[in-house]
A and B are shown apart, each in its own frame.
Chain A
Amino acid sequence: MSFLISRRGLIGVAAGLLASTALPRLALAAGGRLVVAADSEPRQLNPAIVASNGVFFIASKIVEPLAEASFEAGGLRPLLATSWEGSEDGLAVTFRLREGVLWHDGKPFTSADVAFSALEVWKPLQNIGRSLFANLEDVETPDDQTAVFRFSKPTPLQLVANALPVVSAVLPKHVYEGTEIAANPANAALIGTGPFVWGEHKPGEYYLLRRNAAYWAPDQPKIDELVYRVLPDRAAAANSLEAGEIQLAAFSAVPLTDLERVSEVPGLEVVTKGYEALTYQLTVEINHRNAHLKHLKVRQAIAHAIDRKFVLDAIFLGYAAEATGPVPANDPTFYTPEVELYPHDVEKARALLDEAGYPAGADGTRFKLRLLPAPYFNETRQFGDYLRQALAAVGIDAVIVANDSAGHQKAVYTDHEFDLAVAPTVFRADPAISTTILVRSGVPAGTPFSNQGGYENPELDALIDEALITLDSGKRVDLYKRFQKLVTEDLPLINVADWSFTSVASDRLRGLASNPRWAVSNWADLEQEA
């Protein structure tokens, strides 16, 4: 009897198998469902609290900021704000807000939501907003469509505007008011104004977002269902693309070494655009507490020892550019090439080390250093291996200390147990957001991605502070150009390469890479052809 049942069960299973083989193809229907690879599941998905690319990748489709980055002049496209204007004394910024916008629960979006988000979330809770809005005193709401930000110190409009795409995700006041914001259930089932509404999250498997039929922009979005498939394994992401199970893998989910092969698969294309405002820099962090590294000549020697061209070709396979300083060359506003350059020159590096008082010993070695490559990217690890060889060539014995993410974080940014570290630092459209903190003194220990190398330079500190309260955009840009020159002259750190991400996508997608923060923007204009 039991045998009969199990045989019947088997027949059912077999029939089901036949039926289900037809299913994945349905995912490619026009408009329909777009399946995207996601490599992680953020523990806190609220983009107003955690301003990070991993969160934005999913959450920015649901919760929108005041403005988004744009390729057009001015660099910004209005979203929830339609215009912004600074007062002459730099103490106020007035935002005009979009009319007729509804929250996903049907309530109207007003200036009260913006005031609430700024004062109760961005300033006290957000990882980036805490410093950026430190001087924000009040937000006045004279009417439903106007929000006036009042600052206690002059705050450049340029900085506020550049930061908007990252720091200004607006939350619904009526959902969060009077609750513990960081623990509100809406953080795990977001409510926003964006083109997609929250569907469901199946941990370890997927996030499902659905089209917001009441989105404020007419005829958008053009995708019915957006699915983020959790695929932590990189080989799985590439294979799923090839098999047509997913249509998009962003943030270099397909490793550089696989790009050539994947690009030859019919129906897939490699896209390198759409990350311009998310440029990373491959940076050598230096612990200035180390007696050897205190000498400028030693730091210069290290800079000369690095063959940037080799790094670009062998590690980045051409998907990167040489960095000249702490601002990437693709930034349209602040970048200057007029800085101190350190071309690859082994002889000069050796001479500099000799001059600094470190003659080569009997075995050719001058001194030893601990080198901690950040484990977050293949490229940072590989560059660590390369740097060890490059330094050996000039007589510095760099011993690689490998940690995982948490271990690296503690060793470098809290315990300072490093001499050199390799970091993927991020340039976020304005040097004041996450770049100056890499060299400014006085940053408390335990602050990730900051100057934890004990570097102190009063001249540079003064310049950074001045730029922070300089209202005139032109003068501000000049100050940051001088900042780049000073950094390259004194080498608190060494910038090696500017690099960014790649996407691999189905060639039926239209509207890819339509802005410089595309992967983390709202995808309202993304379309899928039949």
Chain B
Amino acid sequence: MRPLAGFLLRRLIGGVPALLIVAVGVFLLLDRAGGDAVDAWLVSIGGGDARMAAALRAEYGLDQSVFSRLTFMLGRLVQGDFGWSFALNRPIGPAIMERLPNTLQLMGAATGISFLIGSALGLIAGRRPGSWTDRLLSGGSLLLYSVPSFWLGLALSVIFAVRLRWFPVSGIETIASGKTGLDRAADVAWHLVLPVAALGMIYLALFLRVMRSGMVEAWGQDYALAARARGVPDRRVALNHAARNALVPLVTMLGLQAGAMLGGSVVIESVFGIPGFGRLAQEAVAGRDAPLLLAVVLVSALMVTLANILTDLAYGALDPRVGSGGRDAA
């Protein structure tokens, strides 16, 4: 257990400078964009007077220099306090905690399903390269991969929600339904079908292609040949020998895609009206709400970091040659 704890600690500490750079970068970028939180608010209320704007700026410290605002915010973050959101007019911590589960559900389900189906189909396609099954699957995945996710989301919504009415058009659960427990879980699952499909489909295609090429490569290796020569059934060679090796690059890809998927969920959340992290980030930028944006970005960065650590651990489990200690040193 000890080496593992040490590995995790080293990885997390190693992430701190990256998080700091992200935080400062985001803050400065938002600061360079014209207008501040008060400007954004005045637009939304259709007018006000200059004195009111000045009073608000003073109240929220927006009249301070960039440096003092930045250091104040970082100081607060170090103490574990996200602060107060101007755009939402409430503390940021609870707002994050409300939105995070929605995004995690969406991303988690999309990742899980696309990984399972993608690798299974990739395995099938890669078993007999050049067969019609392979061509069909490879062609299909290329097609899927080239479809923009927002378009896929809209198309799914129009067909399955508007025309057929099988699924809800938007939202994360039936509004003000008073449901609890399993009922509520089922309701959320039902609402997530289309967004998860829209988000997962593209990654499914990606995983399928990576798995397929891994399988094709593994199939040509000596150990696969040796296993077949020994009379091991094809099925077992594919599952126990080839697939295990083909999974290694796939798992790497899984970790790398965690960040991209977070980006993709911004679009999907908007299309399906899911109050998640992506929409919160969008609201933060439009409202010039630096503390809120910073909180969203930092929590996202943390999530991606965690996803990568998990990937590394899985990597070690799949491939005994890769010890976590050794990898870390390299």
Contacts and interface: CB of A to CB of B under 8 A. Distances in A.
Given A231-B273, A448-B47, A13 B162 contact: no
Given A20-B190, A204-B99, A229-B175, A43 B271 contact: no
B54 to A, nearest CB: 7
Contact of B172 (A205, A404, A411, A414): A205
Interface stretch (A47-55, A293-301, A381-389): A47-55
A418 B187 CA distance: 51
A203 B275 contact: yes
Given A130-B52, A406-B287, A407-B35, A239 B45 contact: no
Contacts of B271: 233, 235-236
A20 B157 CA distance: 18
A128 to B, nearest CB: 7
B50 A203 contact: no
Interface size class of B (residues with CB under 8 A): 35 or more
Contacts of B37: 406
Nearest to B85: A43
Interface string A107-139: 000000000000000000001101100000000
A17 B48 contact: no
B100 to A, nearest CB: 12
B98 A410 contact: no
Interface in B273-294: 273, 275, 279-280, 286-288
Contacts of A407: 33-35, 39
A75 interface: no
Contact of B44 (A42, A426, A444, A445): A42
A448 B186 contact: no
* Residue from A131, A205, A206 whose CB has the most chain B CB atoms within 10 Å: A205
B117 interface: no
A52 B88 contact: no
Nearest to A52: B45
Among B52, B158, B176, B288: residue with most chain A CB under 10 A: B176
Nearest to B272: A236
Contacts of A403: 34-35
B161 interface: yes
B222 interface: no
A272 B123 CA distance: 57
Given A13-B189, A409-B42, 19 more contacts: A15-B186, A20-B174, A23-B174, A43-B87, A53-B46, A130-B48, A130-B52, A203-B275, A205-B171, A206-B176, A230-B273, A230-B275, A239-B157, A240-B170, A406-B43, A406-B288, A407-B39, A446-B54, A447-B49
Interface of A: 12-13, 15-17, 19-21, 23-24, 35, 40-44, 50-55, 127-128, 130-131, 188, 199-200, 202-206, 208, 225, 227, 229-233, 235-236, 239-240, 242-245, 376, 403-411, 414, 426, 434, 443-450
22 contacts: A16-B189, A20-B183, A40-B44, A42-B44, A54-B46, A127-B48, A130-B49, A203-B275, A204-B275, A231-B170, A235-B154, A236-B169, A239-B158, A239-B169, A243-B169, A404-B35, A407-B33, A408-B35, A409-B43, A410-B36, A446-B54, A449-B46
